[in-house]
Structure formats: structure tokens, C-alpha cells
Chains A and B, each alone.
Chain A
Amino acid sequence: MDFSSINPVVLMAALMVAATPILLAAIGELVVEKAGVLNLGVEGMMITGAVVGFAVAVTTRNPYLGMLAAMGGGAAMSLVFGILTQLLKANQVASGLALTLFGLGFSALVGQGYVGISPPRTAKLNFGFLSDLPVIGPILFRHDPMVYASIAIVAGVWYWLNYTRGGRILRAVGENHDAAHALGYRVLRVRMLAIMFGGACAGMGGAYLSLIRVPQWTEGMTAGAGWIALALVVFASWRPWRALLGAYLFGGIVVLQLNLQAAGFRIPVEYLAMSPYLITILVLVIMSSGRARKSLAAPGSLTKPFHAAG
């Protein structure tokens, strides 16, 4: 066993990269849940984004076009969910699960011709002297643009939810859709837009996996990242900055696990692979035991379908 082979600076830098896909998916889902909708199809939207983004990036040789296409793909998937649950009033849990299963199958079909291909490289940003700083440079200032974009999205969502009229309306719709309707807000429209934002974010997260983190296309490559993102939203008690913190925590576990394996740490790989999920469960249990505070944090109309009654 050789712990000296684990370099904390590299570990921290890798952590940010590992966390970015779940962070993107989680921040999108957070907005969806704040609007009162639970979309369990995050995994399906992520993998759709991963394959669509990969295909477009390989075809056009441009990773950013791939990212854009992935957002479109994720949003299109979420639109299916939106039509089912909002217009046709289908059950949200069942529709979300169906979306995940559909996404996994659909991506495997589309991705058949892309296995074993390398995508175009995404350049890392260079912040000049900042990137050359010891320790801080490699951890914070030598990443690809998407890492920074994800943090910017978190900041934007936080600001938008709390300090703008649009954000206030979205929270109102999620909190009590009947009251929002009575005041003249378009509940279904707000929810549809939120669902599509969530889909676009999940798609982007998926494409980050296939284009930057791995980078390659393999079937089922999201491997549960969407579920971690869902747990993360609850872990964060529907607050954007906590979602960032949680994502980096989970990202850290994933990276540490890989590093420990490389260092020959004598523990079956399976235990390490389980650890993010175990911690998710543990955190959920701890959180739900603090009864009153958590019940206040969850949006009041979460998962309730809205019927505009007279």
C-alpha cells in the first residue's frame, strides 16, 4: 500500500471534474423540483445528452456544438415528460422512471456506431499567471470551460430563484399551485419551462461525461449519475450552493475511490464503488430525522398534479 502515490493537488483537481456532471444534472433538477415537479428521468436525460452530444461533436468535430446538441436532446426528452405529466396529467413518478428506461435504451441504439471513437478534445482554459500558481493553479485554474460554466449556472440559479420576479413566481408555483393560479400565474407554462431547463442541464451533464470526463461513448456510461443527482437535490435541501457542496463531496468520493484503487489499497473495489450511494442513503436518513425543518424545505406542491378547477 502506498499512499504517497496519491497527490492531493491532483485529487482536488480531479474532484472538480468528477463532480461537474452530477452538479449540472442536480442544479437542473433542483429548479424542476422548486417548480413542484419531480422528474425521476434525470438518468435517461443524461445518457441521451451523452450520446447526442457525442454524435454531434464527432460529426462536426466541435465539442461545443456537441454540448449545445446535448442540451437540446435532454430538453427534448424532458419535453416528453412534461407533456405526459403536465398536459396529460400522468403520474410523475411512473413517467420519470419510464423516461430513464427509455433514455437508456434509446441511447444504446443511437450510440451503436460510435463505440470506440475518440471525440474532439475540449481545450483547457489558461488563466495566465493564475494557472501557474502553485497548488491553487492546478486545482482551480486549469480546467475546461464547462467546469466554470457549471459554477456560473449554480450562481445564476441561486440569484434568479431568490432575487428575481421570475424566480419568485417559480417558487410560488412549486409551493402552492392553486394560489399561484388564483393570482393569475400560468402554472403549467412555468412548470414546462422548468422541466425543459432541467432536461437541458441533465443533457449537458451527460455530454460532459462522454466528451470531457471519460471521453468516450460506452453504453450505459452514466452508471447511476442521474440518481446521485436526484439524491443530491434532497441532500441540498433545494438550495443551489448546497448542491454545489454536495456535488463536490460526491465527486471527491468517486475520485478518492479511483485513487485508492490505484494505490493498491486492499479493499474490494465493490465497496468503494458503493460508497457514494451508501453516503447518499445515510445523508437522506439523517436529514429526514430532522423532521420539522426538512418538511419546510420541500416545495409544498412537489409531485402534485395541477388541475385548473374553475
Chain B
Amino acid sequence: MTEPLLAIEGLTKSYPGVVANSDVTFEIGKGEVHALLGENGAGKSTLVKAIYGLIRPDAGHMLWRGQPYAPAAPQQARAAGVAMVFQHFSLFEALDVAENVALGMDNPPPIRTLAARIREVSNAYGLPLDPGRLVGDLSAGERQRVEITRCLLQDPHLLIMDEPTSVLTPQEVEILFRTLRQLRSEGRSILYISHKLEEIRALCENATVLRLGKVVGRCDPREKSARALAEMMVGTKLHQPERAAHKPGQVLLEVKALDLRAPSAFGTSLKEVSLQVQAGEILGIGGVAGNGQDELLGALSGELRTRPGAVSFKGATVGHFGPTARRALGLLCAPEERLGHAAAPDMSLTENALLTGAWREKLVKNGFINARRARAFAESIIKRFDVRTPGPHVAARALSGGNLQKFVIGREIMQRPEVLVVNQPTWGVDASAAAAIRQALMDLAQGGAAVVVISQDLDEILEVADTFAALNGGRLSAKRPVQGLTMEAIGLLLGGAEGDSDAAA
């Protein structure tokens, strides 16, 4: 048995109120791609921060090549040969690529020498970079290249990657995987954190599964199905959202020949969009990002006004109404961007609940906030949607993505909408939270509401929707029943959208 590169024994770290890691033990061998699996809040990030020297564990110890290893700062971790690519990139937009790389090194060479080495190393690993460009001008994929190149220049033995693919296009993921396999063939080890199970099955040979800070399983992910992995993560049988087929009802939401100029220079204008959604129906709207999804949501929510007849709710024209008036009627929306659009990051959950629930839940009377009712409303959302947070006084920013998403979707559902429009309801959300959100949307439709799900995740649409329409270049296709619709058929419906978006990317 060869000595592992890094052995972690009994690592424990607690924060006030939470035990982030409890007695975590695992090993990473040389040249191994090791997956760290777990739901949001399972303690993955805390664990890698300890390995990278950003936090100190309360108990337990680590061995690096058999020697005690306790980095007090990232500099020490880097000196030992640990490098890390962060989930939210640790880059500086106003600085150029070479400067960004230099900041991640402990003894950077002069900038000119460094620029030459950046070119050399980034090309060698198939990640070409121009060292003179400002990071602010780069795409998400290119930014990640900067991070990876920064790590590679230090000749690391262990590369930690925290959710590396969440912001990448499929093509960029492909390139990344090629690079990671090349690194493995050079004898470097990789600790790969993700909750995208198919990726882990494609890349990793060992997996450690964390749940609520504890190691709950080890496996070879290549031998397990994605479903089995997901169940190890969640700890219960993952239940597939289900419901009875819908019975057509009254048309609740209708859009007729909606033309809308995009409000920003980078948006997509809507062209003659028409749709109808009935009570009990879930309409899935698919399409690649940037084809008018944000504009469509805006037109339906009332953030973008249209001519009165373009949007009607239960037969009444509402196109000229703002969001508050539409909410009062029963047409509710949950936008894609959680922080900053669906929720105000620095306000508490109670205040955020109040922001959209004030009228329908009667949380405001004569201009005064009824604090008790508002808090009770926030608490009821937290309870019903299993939002993991110490309480409604916590700022929205402090919640993990999945928990905040459950909160903002739950906030609308709790207001008993007659029509609910959601954009990307499960983007960046872990498996069990996603299943809970989808189930809630289905239950809502089951109860007689009309639901519009705008999503780029076609699997999601096939799972929840009754009918499907494709949004492409601001035009919406006619809707089809989902039953009997295959991926191929959807690809055709997206009608050349695939080719176009590739050319644009």
C-alpha cells in the first residue's frame, strides 16, 4: 500500500450553532481524482478551506505525505503543493490576467517573465490565455482558465476544485475535463467538489460523501448510478416528483402577439409571442439563455409594461399593469436571479417575505407594517419549504443558493397564486432542494393554478411540464404536449437555436 498524498483524520470544525465538519476522515492518493459529494451545507467548503489553510479545524489532524500538516494560512498550503480553484472566482476584474496570476503566487517572477510562462503553461494544457487582457473583459470560462493557470504555475501536487463547472457551457466543461485528465496522467491529485453527479461519474475514481458534516459513505462513482449517488447524499430515497395528469381548465393567462423591445442593449426583443395557459397546466418554456427569457418574465410580471391587450389574466387585460397590481389579481412571478432580483441580499427573510407578500398576505395596514404577521409569514415559508436557516431574522445573503431559492419560490407559492411564472427555478440548487421545488410547483398546478416554468434545463421541463414551447431569438414556438416528446423532438423545436447559439458563443 502506497502512502496517501493527503490523509485527513477526525477533522472537526464547528461554528456557533452549526457543526460544519464532524470527525471527517478520508485519504487522497497520488494521481487520484477524488470527488467530495454532498448537498449544499454538507460541509464540503469548510473542509477544503481547512485543507487550504483558510480556517483552522477545532480537532483532528491532517497528514501530507505522512508528515503532520496544519497550514495556518493559504501561503503555507501553497508552499506544500496545494492549489485551489474557487467556486466564486478569486479574481480582480480591474487587473489584467498576469497581475491576477501573480497575486495568487508567493514569489512571482517579474511580470514580463510571468506573462511568457502564462502563455506557455496555458497552451500546454489547452487553455490559451492572453496575459495582457483585463479579467473584467473575460467570459466565465476564460476566468476559470486564469484560476487554473494560476494554480498550475505553482506545480501543485493537489488541485482542489470547488464546483468548477457551475458557470461553464458544455463545451467549456469538455475542455476542462480534458485538462483535468492530463493533470492526472502527470501524477497530480485532484479533489473535485460538485453536486453534478454525471460529471463525477465521468471523472472521478473515488468519492467521499458528506451529509450534515459527517462522512456517510465512500464509493467508486463509476460503479454507481447517479440516482444511487444522489440518495447517498440526501440520505433518503430520492422521490421522483409525481402527480396525476392534468385536466384542462379555464384559460388563466393569455399572451397575444406580444412585441417588446429589450430594455437593455444586451437583451433580446420579443417578437409576436403568443401563449395560453390553463388552470392546472404547467407550461415549460425551453431555450438557451439570452433568447428572451428575462424579457418574457418581465412582460409577464409587469416589470416591463406592454399594450393592455398583450397580456390578459382570466380574460381581463393587464398588459399596462405594474407588478403590484398584477400580484393583487393573482399573477405572481419569481425571477431567475436570487440575489438582487428575487430577494434583497442584505435584508432579512422577514423583510424579503414582506416585499412581495405585503398585499396578498395583508402584512401592511394603513402604511404600517404588521411585524408580527410578516414574521409569521416568513416563518411559515421556512417551515413548509424546509429552508435551512436559524430563523427569519437572517439576511437573505447568508442563505445557501438552494435554501434561498426554496424561500423565494415558497414565498410566491404561499401567496396562493392563480398564475405563477418562474424563471430557472432550480438553477444552482442541489438535488433534494430541486426535487422539493419541482414537487411544490406540481402541487400548485394540481391545486388548480396555471404555472409557467422558464428553464434551460430540458430534463426539468420534461419532468414537470404538461406542455412545452421553445423560445428562440425572442420568438416562441407553438406549444406541444410534453407526453411523447423526445429530446430529439425538442431539439428540432428549438429549431436551429443550437447552431445559432454555438456561432454566437
Binding site for B on A (CB under 8 A): 165, 168-169, 171-172, 175-176, 178-180, 182-185, 296-297, 299-300, 310
Contact = CB atoms under 8 A, between A and B. Distances in A.
A183 B103 contact: yes
B94 A296 contact: yes
A238 B277 CA distance: 54
B94 A175 contact: yes
Contact of B15 (A165, A172, A296, A310): A310
A160 to B, nearest CB: 14
Interface residues of B, number: 25
Interface in B214-235: none
A44 to B, nearest CB: 29
Chain B at the A interface: SS class: loop
Interface string B104-138: 10001000000000000000000000000000100
B92 A175 contact: yes
Query: Interface centre among B54, B92, B136, by most A CB within 10 Å?
Result: B92
B74 A171 contact: no
Contact of A179 (B49, B54, B73, B90): B90
Contacts of B136: 296
B166 interface: no
Contacts of B49: 310
Contacts of A175: 92-95
Contacts of B55: 310
In the A-B complex, the 3 residue pairs with the smallest Cβ-Cβ separation, listed nearest first, are A184-B74, A179-B90, A175-B92
Nearest to B73: A184
Interface in B43-75: 46, 49, 53-55, 73-75
23 contacts: A165-B102, A168-B95, A169-B103, A171-B95, A172-B95, A175-B93, A176-B92, A178-B90, A179-B89, A179-B90, A179-B91, A180-B90, A182-B74, A183-B74, A184-B73, A184-B74, A184-B75, A185-B103, A296-B94, A299-B94, A310-B46, A310-B49, A310-B55
B55 to A, nearest CB: 6
A184 B53 contact: yes
Contacts of A179: 86, 89-92
Given A175-B92, A180-B103, A310-B55, 11 more contacts: A168-B95, A168-B103, A171-B94, A176-B90, A179-B86, A179-B90, A183-B104, A184-B54, A184-B75, A297-B94, A300-B94
A287 to B, nearest CB: 17
B99 interface: yes
A99 B419 CA distance: 54
A299 B95 CA distance: 10
A14 to B, nearest CB: 37
A25 to B, nearest CB: 24
Contacts of B90: 176, 178-180, 182-183
Contact of B54 (A182, A296, A299): A182
Contact of B92 (A171, A184, A296, A297): A171
